[in-house]
């Protein structure tokens, strides 16, 4: 029993290790150096990063060189407090952490009582100076503000410079884009910086969600559940291997200390459409996309939950003219459509009829018809040939069973299936 338990624990450890290998970071970091007004570094200072939405606090201390590093902060807005005995508490607010971002926040402490606070507000545009990665962050406000047919975040990839909204399917080449995640959602197979549209990586919350044929996104989260996504186009960190195009990392929302929710309904209906130019009827198209989100605290400042749902219902139809069988056809008489038996032409541009395929089927058909049928024999033929003497065309049709299987384009009822009353 002990051996089995040990094997199970080892297997679980291997699974967790493998999962760690295939995932990548969706966090960001804040680092900096703490000094006093003279420029001397301050060691053992307490540095606390506080998530303004959840209240979660992350604490480190500066090293002998006054350096601190908070490398794995969840995305969000942070306040950073730095304190040390004999100095006023330093507080910097409004630091925004995006996926895979690195912020530098140095601090200069003033001499004074620790219960005195110097506050610095960060309102400037974020310019990343600690990472060589190039790419843009598309946050939830921009995602929800853009009307998208199908509500797929991958339709927004082309907002990033260097991303082409076209793929080989758009240019007439088959083979790419035939593995849509669901319905009409866009799998994101687009060219980034001239690379192939199959060379991109897709992750949701740090986990690989790339399907294995077209290398597109296999999972498209509900737009209202996405906090942000980042398109890294150049100079990837070492954690991103195997991709020569772009790296797309999606981060979904999480609960906060406040209860929040939303609901939505997107409608398309035939009643709102116009008649096509060459049609007398409006094609039927009814589509409803509906859902909502809800999140909040389970235990304040500690544990949170977030739920989302999206449903899609679609009815689509177009008027099509179809030739229905005639009354004579139900009795086996196909003389009104005899030309349809000829599907090809010979070297003299004369029609070649479809033929009986295989000795077994020829024998079975001959048994039911009551006369001999051979493999390769035409079912029926109608041809127009030129009289070599006069140069005038004349018609040649099959009229007896020595020429074809169904003379005069009539299928005898004996050739039909016995349990059917009509052919």
pLDDT tens digits, one per residue of 299-357: 988 899 999 999 989 898 877 767 778 888 888 888 777 665 544 444 455 444 578 88
SS3 71: strand
Asked if residue 322 is part of any domain, the answer here is no
Pairing of strands 201-204, 207-208: antiparallel
Residue 248: alpha-carbon gap to chain centroid: 12
Asked if residue 8 is part of any domain, the answer here is no
Same domain? 143 vs 231: yes
Q: What is the pLDDT of residue 129?
A: 58
Q: What is the pLDDT of residue 216?
A: 86
Same domain? 353 vs 310: no
Q: What is the pLDDT of residue 66?
A: 94
What is the domain range of residue 218?
A: 134-317
Same domain? 303 vs 372: no
Residue 41: give its domain's CATH number.
Answer: 2.60.40.1120
Q: Give, for all 423 residues of the chain, the pLDDT tens digit.
A: 444 444 344 444 433 434 444 445 578 899 999 999 999 999 999 999 999 989 999 999 999 999 999 988 988 899 999 999 989 999 999 898 888 788 889 999 998 876 777 778 765 445 555 565 666 788 888 887 877 888 888 888 888 888 887 766 665 555 566 666 766 788 888 888 888 888 888 989 888 888 888 888 888 898 899 998 888 887 666 667 778 888 888 999 989 999 999 999 989 898 888 887 777 778 888 999 999 999 999 998 889 999 999 998 989 887 776 777 888 888 888 877 766 554 444 445 544 457 888 899 899 888 888 899 999 888 887 765 555 565 555 557 788 888 888 888 888 877 766 555 545
Same domain? 347 vs 392: yes
Residue 202: give its domain's CATH number.
Answer: 2.170.130.10
Q: Is this prediction's pTM over 0.75?
A: no
Same domain? 34 vs 141: no
Same domain? 108 vs 184: no
In this structure, is the dihedral angle defined by the CA atoms of residues 176, 178, 184 and 189, taken in order, positive or negative? negative
Pairing of strands 247-252, 201-204: parallel
Between CA 165 and CA 170 the distance in angstroms is 9
Asked if residue 112 is part of any domain, the answer here is yes
Q: Read off the tokens for 160.
A: 């990033």
Same domain? 99 vs 235: no
Q: What is the pLDDT of residue 15?
A: 38
Same domain? 223 vs 309: yes
Asked if residue 217 is part of any domain, the answer here is yes
DSSP state, residue 282? P
- Cβ neighbors of 210 (< 8 A, separation 6 or more) are 201, 202, 216, 217, 218
- Name the residue among 328, 295, 288, 327 with its Cα closest to residue 310: 288
Q: How many domains does the chain have?
A: 3
Residue ranges with strand state E in 269-302: 284-299
> Is the separation of the CB atoms in 262 and 195 below 8 Å?
no
Same domain? 170 vs 310: yes
DSSP state, residue 84? -
Same domain? 301 vs 350: no
Same domain? 163 vs 273: yes
Pairing of strands 28-36, 102-104: parallel
Asked if residue 128 is part of any domain, the answer here is no
Q: What is the CA radius of gyration of the chain?
A: 36
């Amino acid at each position: 029993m002990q051996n089995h338990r040990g094997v199970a624990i080892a297997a679980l450890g291997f699974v967790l290790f493998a999962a760690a290998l295939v995932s990548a970071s969706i966090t960001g970091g804040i680092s900096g150096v703490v000094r006093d007004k003279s420029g001397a570094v301050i060691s053992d200072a307490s540095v606390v990063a506080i998530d303004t939405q959840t209240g979660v606090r992350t604490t480190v201390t500066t090293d002998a060189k006054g350096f601190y590093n908070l490398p794995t902060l969840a995305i969000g807005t942070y306040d950073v407090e730095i304190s040390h005995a004999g100095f006023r508490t330093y507080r910097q607010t409004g630091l925004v952490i995006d996926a895979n971002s690195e912020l530098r926040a140095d601090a200069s402490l003033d001499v004074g009582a620790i219960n005195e606070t110097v506050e610095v507000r960060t309102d400037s545009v974020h310019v990343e100076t600690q990472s060589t990665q190039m790419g843009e962050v598309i946050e939830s406000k921009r995602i929800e503000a853009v009307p998208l047919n199908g509500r797929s975040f991958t339709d927004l990839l082309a907002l990033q410079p260097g991303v082409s909204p076209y793929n080989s399917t758009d240019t007439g080449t088959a083979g790419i884009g035939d593995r849509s995640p669901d319905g009409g959602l866009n799998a994101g197979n687009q060219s980034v910086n001239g690379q192939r549209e199959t060379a991109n990586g897709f992750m949701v919350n740090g986990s690989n969600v790339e399907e294995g044929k077209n290398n597109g996104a296999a999972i498209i989260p509900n737009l209202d559940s996405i906090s942000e996504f980042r398109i890294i186009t150049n100079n990837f960190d070492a954690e991103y291997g195997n991709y020569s195009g772009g790296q797309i990392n999606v981060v979904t929302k999480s609960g906060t200390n406040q209860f929040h929710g939303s609901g939505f309904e997107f409608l398309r209906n035939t009643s709102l459409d116009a008649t096509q130019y060459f049609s007398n009827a409006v094609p039927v198209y009814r589509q409803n996309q509906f859902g909502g989100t809800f999140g909040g605290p389970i235990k304040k400042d500690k544990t949170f939950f977030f739920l989302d749902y999206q449903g899609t219902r679609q009815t689509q139809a177009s008027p099509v003219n179809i030739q229905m069988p005639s009354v004579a056809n139900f009795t086996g008489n196909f003389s009104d459509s005899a030309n349809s038996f000829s599907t090809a032409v010979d070297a003299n541009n004369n029609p070649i009829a479809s033929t009986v395929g295989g000795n077994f089927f020829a024998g079975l058909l001959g048994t039911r018809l009551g006369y001999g049928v051979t493999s390769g024999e035409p079912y029926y033929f109608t041809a127009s040939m030129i009289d070599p003497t006069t140069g005038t065309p004349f018609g040649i049709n099959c009229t007896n069973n020595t020429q074809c299987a169904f003379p005069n384009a009539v299928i005898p009822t004996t050739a039909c299936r016995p349990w059917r009353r009509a052919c």
